[in-house]
């Protein structure tokens, strides 16, 4: 993973890339209109694209209030955009026995899948100590694997954000190169 480092303070960053709205990682479907689903088709433009991303950042950020992280105090929120335009949210949920803890991303995925939804476009992730995002928080390996199960690594987008102005967009393929997915069982 390019430029990934964990600082002494525990804040996770991607120092090789500058933060900002011009960040766009990868090829595949063009950015314009990519996050705009049928529901928002009437305002198909870069503006609506930006609005959709902001919606996801807002929805993910709102989840910080629900995060249950009494042990790490590292709160994470996620907003998962389904193919049909619906947004499924999630927060991290820790446990006194530690291993039963669940990440925000997987909470969002499992909520969606449990409601019969299996097609997804993007997920936005925010997080930080005490619920104050001050840098980019990337999904853990387990969550990346869950994304591999339900998402096309070529097209599924992962939006890392803090605040409304700072976000980076990656393809799942960028964060999970040579990943193992359902198709590999038939290879």
Rounded CA separation 90/42 (Å): 28
Minimum CB–partner distance for residue 143 and Zn ion (Å)? 3
For residue 143, the number of C-alpha atoms closer than 13 Å in the C-beta half-sphere is 25
Closer by beta carbon to Zn ion, 52 or else 168: 168
Site for Zn ion in 88-117 (CB under 5 A): 103
Minimum CB–partner distance for residue 105 and Zn ion (Å)? 5
The one segment of 18-26, 83-91, 121-129, 135-143 that binds Zn ion by CB under 5 A: 135-143
> What are the residue numbers of the active site?
105
Residue whose C-alpha is closest to residue 49's, from 122, 108, 112, 119: 122
Rounded CA separation 160/75 (Å): 14
Minimum CB–partner distance for residue 146 and Zn ion (Å)? 8
Q: Which residue is nearest to Zn ion (CB)?
A: 103
Closer by beta carbon to Zn ion, 36 or else 143: 143
Give Rg (Cα) of the chain.
Answer: 16
76 binds Zn ion (CB under 5 A): no
78 binds Zn ion (CB under 5 A): no
The one segment of 62-70, 81-89, 119-127, 137-145 that binds Zn ion by CB under 5 A: 137-145
Rounded CA separation 21/24 (Å): 8
143 binds Zn ion (CB under 5 A): yes
Hey, what's the torsion of the CAs at 42, 46, 52, 57, to 10 degrees? Answer: -170
Closer by beta carbon to Zn ion, 36 or else 147: 147
Minimum CB–partner distance for residue 104 and Zn ion (Å)? 8
140 binds Zn ion (CB under 5 A): yes
Rounded CA separation 45/82 (Å): 19
Residue that has been written with the tokens 């669940």 in this structure: 102
Count of chain residues binding Zn ion (CB under 5 A) = 3
Rounded CA separation 83/90 (Å): 17
Q: Which residues bind Zn ion (CB under 5 A)?
A: 103, 140, 143
């Amino acid at each position: 993973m390019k430029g990934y480092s964990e600082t002494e303070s525990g804040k996770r960053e991607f120092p090789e890339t500058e933060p900002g709205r011009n960040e766009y990682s990868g090829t595949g479907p063009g950015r314009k209109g990519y996050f705009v689903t049928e529901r928002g088709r009437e305002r198909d433009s870069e503006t609506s694209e930006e609005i959709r991303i902001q919606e996801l950042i807002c929805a993910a950020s709102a989840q910080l209030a629900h995060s249950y992280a009494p042990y790490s105090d590292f709160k994470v929120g996620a907003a998962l955009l389904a193919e049909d335009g619906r947004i499924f949210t999630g927060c991290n949920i820790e446990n006194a026995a530690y291993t039963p803890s669940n990440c925000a991303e997987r909470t969002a995925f499992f909520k969606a899948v449990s409601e019969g939804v299996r097609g997804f476009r993007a997920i936005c992730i925010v997080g930080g100590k005490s619920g104050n995002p001050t840098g980019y928080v990337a999904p853990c390996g387990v969550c990346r694997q869950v994304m591999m199960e339900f998402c096309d690594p070529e097209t599924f987008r992962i939006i890392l954000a803090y605040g409304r102005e700072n976000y980076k967009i990656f393809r799942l393929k960028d964060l999970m190169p040579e990943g193992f997915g359902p198709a590999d069982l038939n290879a």
